[in-house]
Structure 1
Amino acid sequence: MQTRIGRDHYVRVDTNDYSVHPDAIGRTVTVLTDNDEVIALAPGGVIVARRPRCWARHQTIVSRRDCAACPGPGAASARRCRGRTG
């Protein structure tokens, strides 16, 4: 599946949101899934996210590295990722 990365830098697979590195904001990425992981590829095949697949519903799976790289003012960036890191 292909999707454009919005300002919140997440991709949705089933009912779960997976963080993507903020460098991919505004780009179209290809999302690949299997039973074990979710991978997001930027143009040129660059991996911008590789997360373990979560089978629970309505979860948010975040990389601390993605949150640390959030653009914008610190408070707004922290708000987007608060309580979601793992």
Structure 2
Amino acid sequence: MLVRIVKMGFYKQNVEVFLENFEATKTKIRAFEGCTFLELYRDKNDPSIFFTYSYWESEEALQNYRKSELFIGVWGLTKPLFSIRPEVWSVEKLESLK
């Protein structure tokens, strides 16, 4: 399994636009073939900073999403809203305790 972590910072006036776009697309992203988990987090100290965590069955599944019309549309709407360059990590989950 591949875990994708994306840190995004938005201009304050764009936060609601981002949240509305996420609300409108989150179920489509989660239903994309190979995506098994999706969460959105907001920084407690800076309400304009967000993180997405998504789980993918494989690197190939993630790349298929990144090449999809869905991603191109979502990213096309999101990218102009940024106040900082997004940071992205692909990591492997080693352990999970419940």
| TM-based fold match above 0.5 | no
State the TM-score, normalizing by the size of structure 2: 0.26
Relative to its length, the structure with more strand (as a share) is: 1
State the TM-score, normalizing by the size of structure 1: 0.28
Relative to its length, the structure with more helix (as a share) is: 2
Specify the structure having the higher radius of gyration (Cα).
Answer: 2
